[in-house]
Structures are given as structure tokens and as C-alpha cells.
A and B are shown apart, each in its own frame.
Chain A
Amino acid sequence: MIEIENVRKSFGQLEVLKGINLTVKKGEVVTVIGGSGSGKSTLLTCINGLEPIASGKVMIDGTDVHAKSTDLNKLRQKVGIVFQQWNAFPHLTVLENVMLAPRKVLGMSKQKAEEIAVKQLTHVGLGEKLSVYPNRMSGGQQQRMAIARALAMSPEYMLFDEVTSALDPMLVGEVLDTLRMLASEGMTMICVTHEMKFAREVSDRVAFFHQGVMAEIAAPEQLFDAPEHAETKKFLAATH
């Protein structure tokens, strides 16, 4: 379970998160929508401790992420994250990209790591691309590789930060299909996205962020068809 309690975060003068409260239960899929600068992406990097927070608390299965005593490297093995820019490691093949962390961080044998990497890559439809270098692949393929790379650590939670925003429109579908598949397998996920149709399909709950505040959170039908907050209405009207 991920528990976010009254989290505040500023970049200099600008307060990007103004007291966020959100609890995500095991097996739940929560999508976060909202305009740019609403703080939704920052929230994800605060959840796995890549960014420090000013006040509040983030608890993952009862562990305080931002406590000094917490071993963040250990915690991050439990929480995978995939970014808008997929950040493929250009000097490693697709297979090596996925094998690296299991071997070096989890200390797996080469054989075991390879087995897992092949399984995950096949899962996301890249079973044919194992020995290819990332720069030979499309953005969509690289993004799916990044997903497999995160999954190879057997995380219990996955965070997706606008993973389709940097892709050509024709490549968005293949990545969203991968996310749908993960959701249907019961992965606990928080997805920041601009794809409304996707959000409606896969989410248990959809949260709308506006200027650092979670303005509204509800089941997808509720939020999309009968939004309560004025800003939500405005945002949805503008995106349709």
C-alpha cells in the first residue's frame, strides 16, 4: 500500500505540491490527469524518493520513504518507475539493459538474470530484439524496453510518468497496450497520463490535479461523465 499524507514540495519560490493526500491499495490502478505544471509528475518522483519533499509523509508498505534511516536503493527495487524519456542505456544491448540491475543490484547470477530479462522482454513483445542496441529501435520499442527493465526487478508497484508523451502518435498504441496488459495482470500502478480514453479504460480511480492540488478523485465513470469540480469540467472540456 502506498500512503501519501499531506505532501508538500517546492522548487525555489514555486510550490508544486500543496498538501497531497492519496492512498493506493495493492492491485489498484490510479491514473493522474491534469494540465502541465499541475505537479502530477513531481508526485511520482517524490514517491520513490528521487526528489526530496518539504513536509508530509510517503509510506510504502509501512516504510517512510523520506526517513533518513530508509535504504532508498532497497525501496526502489520495490517501486519501478518509467519516465517520459525512456533513458535507454545506449552502450548496452536490449538484453543487457534489462539484465544490468538484476545482476548488479539484486546480485543475481548471469543465467538467472538472463532468464528473467528474456521473459520480461518477450512479455512486452521484444523477444526478437534481444541483441539489438537501443538506438536501432523506435521510441515505442525503447519505451517498452524501459518497462521490461523496470519489471525485471519484480517490483510490487509501478509508476508511469507520461510514458507516451514523447512518442509519435502511431507508436502510442503499442505502449498503452503494454500498460493495459500489466493492469489486467493485477499490477499496482500509478500512471500520470494525457490519454483520457486509456485512463477511463484501465483505472480504478482517476485523480485530477490542478496547480499543485488534487482537485478531485473518483471512479472513471464518475470523473469523466459527472465531474464535480469546476476546474475538472474546464480541463475535460478543453481536452475533448
Chain B
Amino acid sequence: MFHYTFHWNQALKALPQMLDGALVTLQIALLSMAIGLAVAIALTLFRLSGSRILGALATAWIEVARNTPALFQIYMAHFGLGNFGIHLSPFTSLLVGIAFNNAGYLAENFRGALKAIPDTQARAGRSLGMTSLQAFRLIVMPQMLRVAFLPVTNQMVWAILMTSLGVTVGMNTDLAGITQELNARSFRTFEFFAIAAVIYYVIAKAVTLAARAFASRMFRY
């Protein structure tokens, strides 16, 4: 077709190498989510704290994360910090950029989840003699987790897709990076990237399905 011969064999030989890259991709995504979740919780608390400075910091973080491209955020980590004499490796820049992005989006999700639980729930707990901490921990929190679970899962999928941006700052050990290196050596662009696409698709679906299975066991109401 179109006088082009597809060379799938050559590309498939590189599969083990690409799967190694997929592991790095997953590793960055998971790490960035762990950092993102921790920071998002902190940002949520900052917003609730009533402190003007902390609140403004949280708002600024969330606005920048949500209103600029993820690639911009990675560039900021990779090139922008250079102004302060901080030169991050491609791996670290990518991780920092994605974690920054995750934290902003997750913090916004948490705020929504908190709003979704009516005050009357905590009140009902208080009227049974619970302390406010007990009412939060036993009644509000579990319901919040359920509301926030789906957005958190979506963010995880986003994080996986965002790791592919690392190749633009010279990352060469993750799936996109390895694919690009293989491509540069062989010029079998379509074959290599098609295989990479399939791997990304499978990972994204696996994460979604696993999360769904987990949710249906966890949240039975």
C-alpha cells in the first residue's frame, strides 16, 4: 500500500526494550501521583486554614497548574529553574512538572469532594456524641474518598499520558524516550510509535479497570 513496506518484525524485536521503558513510565506516573496527592492534601488544608498567605499560595498553585500547558510546567522545571542555578535531569524535571500539575488538579478535586458532603452529615454525627474529629474521620472522610476516587483515577491516567512529554526535554529511558531513540536509529517511525501507542493504551486501560474493580469492592453503596 502506497509503496511502503511495513517492517513489523524489526519493531517487534525491540518490544522487550520498550516494555522496560513502560516500567519507567509507570514508575514516574506513580511517583508523581504520590507526591501530587500529598501536596494536594496540603494545598486543601492551606485553603481551609483561613490564613491569607497560605490560601493565596494554594490558589496560585492551582491556577497555574490548571491554566498553563503541562509541557510548560515541565519546561519551567527544566529550563526555568536554571535561573537559580538549579539544573534538573530530564527524569527529575519530568517528575517535578507532572507532580506540580497533579497537585493542582487534585486539590481542585478535593475541594469539590468536600463541598459534596452536606454539613448535616457531620451534624448527625455530632448529635450522636461524636467529637468533631470523629465525625470527620468516620463520616465525612469515607464519603469524600468515594467522591474523589474517580477524579483521582482520571488524574493517574493523565499522569501516564503526560510522561510522554519527557522526550521533549531529552528523557530517553521511558516508553516515549526509548521509542524516539529506536526511531532515530531506524526511521521506522510508524511501526515503533504504533507499538508504543498500543502499550500506552493497554496501561491506561489496565489502570482504569483496576481502579474500577477496586472501587466496586470498596464503595458498595
Contacts and interface: CB of A to CB of B under 8 A. Distances in A.
User: Is there any pair of Cβ atoms, one from A and one from B, under 8 angstroms apart in the complex?
Assistant: yes
Given A104-B130, A104-B134, A153-B129, A133 B221 contact: yes
B123 interface: yes
B143 to A, nearest CB: 5
Which secondary structure dominates where chain B touches chain A?
helix
B129 A101 contact: yes
Given A83-B124, A100-B138, A133-B221, A91 B143 contact: yes
A18 to B, nearest CB: 25
A93 B127 CA distance: 19
Contacts of B146: 91
B49 interface: no
B128 A89 contact: no
B219 A91 contact: yes
A101 B128 contact: yes
B188 interface: no
Interface stretch (A60-68, A70-78, A186-194): A70-78
B80 interface: no
A118 interface: no
A106 B120 CA distance: 22
A90 interface: yes
Interface in A70-115: 73-74, 76-77, 80-81, 83, 85, 87, 89-93, 100-101, 104-106
B129 A76 contact: yes
Contacts of A135: 221
A50 B143 CA distance: 22
Interface residues of A, number: 28
A101 B130 contact: yes
B139 interface: yes
Interface string B127-167: 11111001000110011001000000000000000000000
B121 interface: yes
Contacts of A105: 128-130, 134
A143 to B, nearest CB: 12
B164 to A, nearest CB: 37
Interface in B110-128: 120-121, 123-128
B220 interface: yes
B126 A76 contact: yes
Contacts, number: 63
Nearest to A85: B120
Interface in A127-162: 133-135, 146, 149-150, 153
Most buried by B among A80, A100, A133, A149: A100
A50 B122 CA distance: 11
24 contacts: A48-B127, A74-B129, A76-B127, A76-B128, A81-B127, A85-B120, A87-B121, A87-B123, A89-B121, A89-B125, A90-B143, A92-B221, A93-B221, A100-B138, A101-B128, A101-B129, A101-B130, A104-B134, A105-B129, A133-B221, A134-B221, A135-B221, A150-B127, A153-B128
* The 4 residue pairs across chains A and B that have the minimum distance between CB atoms: A87-B124, A101-B128, A133-B221, A77-B129
Given A76-B127, A90-B221, A100-B128, 18 more contacts: A50-B123, A76-B126, A77-B128, A80-B128, A81-B127, A83-B120, A83-B124, A87-B120, A87-B124, A89-B143, A91-B142, A101-B128, A101-B129, A104-B130, A104-B134, A105-B134, A149-B128, A153-B128
